[in-house]
Copies of this chain bind each other. A is one copy, B any other.
Amino acid sequence: MVTLGVDLGGTNIKVALVDEAGAILQEASRPTNLPRPAEAVCDDIADLCRELMAGRDDVAGIGVGCPGTVDDATGMVLYSNNLDWSNFAMGPYLTRRTGLPVRLANDANAAALGEALAGCAKGADSAVIITLGTGVGGGVVLDGKLLTGYTGAAAEPGHMVIHDAADAPLCTCGRRGCLEAYASATALIRMTKEAMAAHPESALWQLATPQTVVGRTVFDARDAGDAVAAAVVKEYIHWLAAGVANLVNIFFPQVVGLSGGVANQGEALLAPLRAEVEPMVFGHAFAQKRTTLTTCTLGYRAGVIGAALLAREK
């Protein structure tokens, strides 16, 4: 038995045929071509699915990772800012077009499920996946199941305030001092630019202008021996550690997996992060089991794989 996973993004629709172990057997994609009606986008999804199903009789279902808030029980996309959809019955629509049962998840949740079941937390009983990208997204998987909450909007670990203060940076959500405002790539770039403005002598200026700074700039300058860059990296890791430790103290998961651009730093990020997180874990001195802090392994394919594995769920 195999299932189809759909990663519906604002730019591309990606579909993959996935086996029970989470391995991709075949892939296809098309541009999302927004703006257009939800039905037209779903017709393209159905086309891609039929293309990958051709000649097979072992496709058991479709899972879709979709930006926004979904209600998996009814197959409704409740609200998607990226797609400009609200209250669209995506599940029933796709079922009519393909004859297959459809499961829905938020796109970050689908990717978290992929990492939990087939990626960095494969075999673990629980995982918190945190994506350090434009924002801080994530998903929580407990006993193989996504935590979606009563409202379907869980989990939003990026919108946990870690520094509740009037002068804390404003988050996109309207609160000040959210993890996202300190630990996203966007926040890292902001901190790097602030350091450049304050330190014209920094080697950061040899690697970038304020217009060309990216997430890795400050890590590269730190590796080249720049003290200003080292201070920014230290501060960034401090805030990220506070957020990770909070999530460990809430879930005590077997694995915390980091993904997104900043996580590409690998051990250069993980080693100092582990050193900061460990003493902040409640009861760490007496703990017999410890959370493993690592990076994700599936890359951009986590979404289609997770969506396909969601479709296997009873």
Which residues of A come within 8 Å of B, CB atoms?
69, 78-79, 86, 124-126, 140, 142, 147-157, 159-165, 173-175, 238-239, 242, 245-247, 249-254, 279-280, 282-283, 286-291
Contact = CB atoms under 8 A, between A and B. Distances in A.
A274 to B, nearest CB: 16
A164 to B, nearest CB: 5
A155 B155 CA distance: 16
Contact of A79 (B140, B147, B286): B286
Nearest to A153: B252
Contact of A253 (B126, B149, B152, B246): B149
A55 B3 CA distance: 56
Contacts of A124: 150
A156 B250 contact: yes
B125 A290 contact: no
A230 B131 CA distance: 41
25 contacts: A69-B286, A79-B286, A86-B286, A124-B150, A142-B147, A150-B252, A151-B252, A151-B287, A151-B291, A152-B252, A152-B289, A153-B283, A155-B249, A155-B251, A156-B249, A156-B250, A156-B282, A157-B249, A159-B282, A160-B160, A160-B246, A161-B162, A162-B162, A163-B165, A175-B280
Given A151-B289, A154-B251, A161-B162, 20 more contacts: A69-B283, A78-B286, A126-B150, A149-B253, A150-B252, A150-B254, A151-B252, A151-B290, A151-B291, A153-B252, A154-B252, A156-B249, A156-B250, A157-B249, A157-B250, A159-B282, A160-B249, A164-B242, A175-B280, A247-B250
B239 A164 contact: yes
Contacts of A154: 250-252
Contacts of A86: 286
Contacts of A245: 161, 175
Contacts of A253: 149-150
Contacts of A163: 163-165
A122 B212 CA distance: 55
B126 A149 contact: yes
Contacts of A282: 153, 156, 159, 173
A113 to B, nearest CB: 16
A147 B126 CA distance: 11
B149 A242 contact: no
Contacts of A291: 150-151
Contacts of A246: 159-161, 246
B252 A250 contact: no
Given A173-B282, A250-B250, A288 B160 contact: no
